[in-house]
Amino acid sequence: MVPPMSFEARPIELHGHRVFYRRAGSGPPLVLIHGMLNSSRHWEAVARGLSSDYTVIAPDLIGHGDSATPRGDYSLGAHAAAIRDLLAAIGIDRATIVGHSLGGGVALQFFWQFPQRTERLVLISSGGLGREVSPMLRAAALPGMSGVLAVAAHRRWLDALWAAGARMRAKGRGQGIYLQAIARALRPLEQPGAREAFVQTLRSVIDVHGQRVSARDRLYLLGAMPTLVVWGDRDETIPLAHGREAHALIPGSRFATLPGAAHFPHLEDPEGLVLVLREFLDTSEPAQLDEADWASIVNRARQGAAAGGVTRARPASAGRTDRPR
């Protein structure tokens, strides 16, 4: 009989701050990076589906989940460096890096900064691939939002919102799902430190005009890295078009959509996501880049651009692996 998977949060001290992460399974390392208003615990169903063959590591980013909320740097690069240090501390040198939403931007930064530590890259409804983003996130970047969030994230209000959603769902009204999704998203912001960390993280990547950070000018560098782009086909937070366009710009990448899923495929269709991830992992070889390889990749691209040979995008249909439901 297979023992139940343990996915309990574990503390570790990094640079004077307490950081939590979850670990399950055994085999090649697979790092799952959550997005804003999420935490490592939201990966549990996906970890359960992969832990029989992989060592699954899911950190709580600084300012999220149970990790510390210090006053400091909440940029994508800072989060990527913190994950590098966590992996080094627990004895993991290289891994497949999977990122959702904000975590997708962190995953991209991890690859730019530490290509020699990256074996594969998976971007799930990823940020950093275009300007458009939901009006709610743009509004959250406005000045004074900390005070608004303090009211919106009050426990009594969230309990009432959750209960209202449950009543609506019991009556067969689909809007109840969205009320509960809002309550679940706001729940981590009950503590002042978490609200400030959220606002700082948000403003590092989003302003009132949309996403401030874009990786589109260097996606061609991922041609050396096995890359999978996954999107929910009902995503209204970050457009599906961003995923299709990124796939077209990343040489040799794969693309998959999850029918019926919105912005949180790991919560809305974890079984489907596990199937897509397993197919990618089973049919791709991990990259093994070193500093010399990276220098060669960058220089070839630079020389090609100087000669007018900028990498051209290919049709977004190439390599598509949409999963039928």
**pLDDT < 70 positions in the chain:** 1-4, 140-142, 144-154, 174-175, 177-182, 184-193, 301-325
Q: Which of 67, 235, 242, 269 is catalytic?
A: 235
Closest by CA position to 232, among listed 202, 200, 272, 201 = 272
**Is 290 noted as a catalytic residue in this protein?**
no
**Is 322 noted as a catalytic residue in this protein?**
no
Strands 9-14 and 206-207 come out as unpaired
For position 215, what pLDDT does the model report?
87
For position 126, what pLDDT does the model report?
95
- The residue assigned the tokens 């809305």 is 268
For position 265, what pLDDT does the model report?
93
Q: Which of 101, 126, 204, 253 is catalytic?
A: 101
Amino acid identity for residue 249 in this structure? L
> What tokens appear for 137 in the block?
């996130």
**Is 101 noted as a catalytic residue in this protein?**
yes
Residue 196: φ, ψ to 5° = -65, -40
Q: Which of 79, 263, 266, 269 is catalytic?
A: 263
For position 178, what pLDDT does the model report?
59
Q: Is the dihedral of CA 128, 146, 75, 66 positive or negative?
A: negative
> What tokens appear for 190 in the block?
């009950």
For position 317, what pLDDT does the model report?
34
Q: How far apart are the first and last CA of the chain?
A: 31
For position 312, what pLDDT does the model report?
39
> What tokens appear for 165 in the block?
């959603």
For position 205, what pLDDT does the model report?
81
Map out the domains of the chain as residue ranges: 9-130+214-306, 136-205
Q: Which helix (H) or strand (E) holds 29?
A: strand 29-33
Strands 55-59 and 17-24 come out as antiparallel
Rounded Cα distance between 187 and 174, Å, is: 21
**Digit-coded pLDDT (tens) for 265-313:** 998 899 999 999 999 999 999 999 888 888 888 887 666 655 554 443 3
- Fold classified for 9-130+214-306: Rossmann fold (3.40.50)
**Digit-coded pLDDT (tens) for 171-193:** 877 567 656 666 766 666 666 66
